[in-house]
Amino acid sequence: MLMFAKPYRKLLFFSLLLTGFIVIASLAQPFIIKVAIDSYIKMNDYQGMMYLGIIYFILIMVSSICTYFQNNTLQFTGQYVIYDFRQAVFKHFSVMQMDFFRKNPIGRLVTRITHDVEALNQLYSQVIVNLVKEVLILIGIIALMLYMSVKLTLICFLVIPIIAIVTFYFKRVLRDTQRKLRSILSSLLSYLAENLSGMSVIQLFARERKQLDRFNELNEEHYRAGMRQTVINSIFNPSIGLFGNISLALLVWYGGRSVVDETITFGTVYAFTHYVRQFFEPLRGLADRFNQIQAALASAERIFETLETKPTIVNPVQPKELPEKVKGDIVFNHVWFAYKNEEWVLKDVHFRINQGETVGIVGATGAGKSSIIQLINRFYDNQKGIISLDGINIKNVLLNDLRRHIGIIQQDAFIFSGTVFDNIRLNHNAVSNEEIIKAAKAVNIDSFFRMLPQGYNTMLGEEGTVLSAGQKQLLSFLRAMIADNDVLILDEATANIDTESEQAVQAALREMSKNRTTIIIAHRLSTIQQADKIIVLDKGRIVEMGNHQQLLKNQMVYYDLCQNQNKGKTLKI
């Protein structure tokens, strides 16, 4: 655990050093006054008094300066910790396979990067150093007290065993409450994330009441656990204070008598009253530390568990290199694939797409069309069989190398915060604005982007303009044109575009698919009639393959599909 403090060890060490000064300074103050009372005031030693005063003043100054630097150092350390861990966790998320995001609700992942990282920050910025400080002060006080008077020390500490028992009991109760609080908070966040992103569905189906009820339930649980914690604390803190005061009373009673008897000096009793008060502060703090440590450890455990979850889709150890430009031969060799266990989504899928061919994939909803695409760019790995690009097994190629060659236009394009230009360009920084406009003009969709409030400079995303489904598809189409990948895949990419724009896009598509391997998934069969090959999928199996004319002649699944879409019209065979 502390191993992870390594990058910050210099800072931590520095603040520990400062802590040493602070502890010495705060312990010395009552002792100096004791010396002043017992040795100098009694003797009317003005010069001695002055020296002591100067020493006292210097101590206070040193202590303040050290405290200032220590606080800052700790805060800096905390900020570094937050920065580093957030980055590490996010970076880790970005290499995880899609499967990971399916299994982990967004709320949980958000908690990792916010709440858990924050708890870890506490560990570094507050717990470690304060723990040392409190222990040192306690030891220091006990040592000084014993040095001054063993008897008085024992009297003062009569209540210590009781305090220990009370603390132990309270903290155990408190720990359970806190654990509960954290688990409720996590559920609450998950629930919140899910509901916020699904709000339109909730409102549409008038489920607000139901969702709210469930939320209230969680919220109330959280409230009750929170209240419990407050109440426990509100009993605990004063009771420690009470014992402190009992201790003080014992001290005044016995100490006062001893001063009268002249067995103990007045200065000693004075210093004792200070030390007793000082003693209970760190004691209370220490009790808190253990809770903080526990919370931080729990968070740290979750963070490291996340960081240690290895991605399952990884680069090969000895990668083969794809050529700068691939031909685009894609082969599925008896491929079996399931998202989980043995629920096969693709069953013995076997086909070959040759260089430059345009291939259509059709099939009912849920047949497995999109899954084929997920496999080609390795969002998922198939369990059996081999998928190859240009004769190289795609599992033997670096992920980036593979994905660089494959352009996918999906049904629901994701829009990032940024301008239209940024969104089309993505990471092809060398492409100029003019080139983008030229590409848009070439396919006659330039006017759509000009119509937006600030044309191509319109801000999109979270706080910007929202594009319609069709506009998004046009945008992602341009993305693919600009990316100019060797293999082009369209998954229901023209479903939301009106007929007029679709014609423009189809023309552009014909242009782009020339000399380029192209895979088109479409429900509208007219889109793929011209394809060199059409693969017909049914419940994960290929049931037919051939071009439009051949498949019509077969009079099987494809023929039925066509007939359904062209109701009434007779089909030309």
Ligand X SMILES: Nc1ncnc2c1ncn2[C@@H]1O[C@H](COP(=O)(O)OP(=O)(O)OP(=O)(O)O)[C@@H](O)[C@H]1O
- What contacts 78, CB < 8 A, 6 or more positions away? 121, 122, 124, 125, 126
Indicate the SS3 state at residue 309: coil
C-alpha 480 chain-centroid distance: 30
Q: Which does 405 bind (CB under 5 to 8 A by kind): Mg ion, ligand X, none?
A: none
Residue among 330 and 439 whose Cβ is closer to ligand X: 330
In angstroms, the CA 9 to CA 32 distance is: 34
Give least dist CB 474 to ligand X, A. 20
Least distance to ligand X, CB of residue 528, Å: 13
Query: E strand or H helix at 387, and its extent?
Result: strand 384-389
CB of 369 to ligand X, least distance (A): 3
Half-sphere exposure of 172 (CA within 13 A, CB side): 5
The least CB distance from residue 338 to ligand X, in Å, is 8
CB–CB of 349/372 below 8 Å?
Answer: yes
**In the bound complex, what is the minimum distance in angstroms from residue 558's beta carbon to Mg ion?**
18
**Which CB, 187 or 370, lies closer to Mg ion?**
370
Instruction: Candidates 67, 71, 370, 388: give the one binding Mg ion (CB under 5 A).
Output: 370
In the complex, the smallest distance separating the C-beta of residue 538 from Mg ion, rounded to whole angstroms, is: 14
159 vs 480 by CB, closer to Mg ion? 480
Q: Give 423-470 as a DSSP string.
A: HHHTT-TT--HHHHHHHHHHTT-HHHHHTSTTGGG-EESTTSBPPPHH
| Minimum CB distance to Mg ion, residue 521 (Å) | 6
107 binds, among Mg ion, ligand X, none (CB under 5 to 8 A by kind): none
Q: How far is the CB of 313 from Mg ion (least distance, A)?
A: 20
Indicate the helix (H) or strand (E) that contains 352. Answer: strand 344-353
Name the DSSP class of 397: B
For 59, the 3-state DSSP assignment is: helix
Return the one option of ligand X, Mg ion, none that residue 363 interacts with (CB less than 5 to 8 A, by type). Answer: ligand X
Select from ligand X, Mg ion, none the partner in contact with residue 345, using the beta carbon and a kind-dependent cut-off of 5 to 8 Å. Answer: ligand X
The piece of 109-117, 158-166, 333-341, 364-372 that touches Mg ion (CB under 5 A) is 364-372
Residue 358 DSSP symbol: E
The answer to whether the Cα torsion of 510, 511, 515, 518 is positive or negative is negative
Residue 339 contact partner, candidates Mg ion, ligand X, none, CB within 5 to 8 A by sort of partner = ligand X
Q: Which does 245 bind (CB under 5 to 8 A by kind): Mg ion, ligand X, none?
A: none
How many residues form the binding site for Mg ion (CB under 5 A)?
1
Name which of 274 and 347 has its Cβ closer to Mg ion. 347
Q: Which is nearer to ligand X, 113 or 345 (CB)?
A: 345
* Closest to 506 measured CA to CA, from 485, 522, 517: 522
For residue 550, give both structure tokens: 């051949």
> What string of DSSP letters covers 462-475?
TTSBPPPHHHHHHH
Q: For Mg ion, which residue has the nearest CB?
A: 370
Report 69-108 residues binding Mg ion (CB under 5 A). none
CB of 525 to ligand X, least distance (A): 13
Least Cβ distance, residue 379 to Mg ion (angstroms): 13
Report CA Rg, the chain: 36
Helices (H), 36-45: 42-43
Count CB atoms within 10 A of the CB of residue 64: 12
Select from ligand X, Mg ion, none the partner in contact with residue 341, using the beta carbon and a kind-dependent cut-off of 5 to 8 Å: none
Closest CB to Mg ion among 333 and 370? Answer: 370
Beta carbon nearer to ligand X, 112 or 369: 369
Does the footprint of Mg ion cover residue 496 (CB under 5 A)? no
Kindly state the tokens that stand for 95: 């290499």
- Going by C-beta distance under 8 Å and a sequence separation of 6 or more, which residues neighbour residue 330? 352, 353, 376, 387, 388, 389, 487, 517, 519
- State in angstroms the smallest separation of the CB of 410 from ligand X: 10
Three-class secondary structure of residue 296 per DSSP? helix
Interface positions with ligand X (CB under 6 A):
102, 339, 345, 363, 365-371
CB 477 within 8 Å of CB 443: yes
Q: Which is nearest to 450 in space by CA: 483, 420, 494?
A: 420
Our CB check for ligand X shows the closer of 140 and 368 to be 368
Phi, psi of 415 (to 5 degrees): -110, 130
Q: Cβ contacts of residue 291 below 8 Å, gap of 6+?
A: 171, 174, 175, 178
CB nearer to ligand X: pick between 163 and 367: 367
Task: Name which of Mg ion, ligand X, none residue 102 binds, using a CB cut-off of 5 to 8 Å depending on partner kind.
Answer: ligand X
Q: Based on CB atoms, which residue is closest to ligand X, 4 or 344?
A: 344
State which residue, 176 or 412, has the beta carbon closest to Mg ion. Answer: 412
**Positions that interact with Mg ion (CB under 5 A):** 370
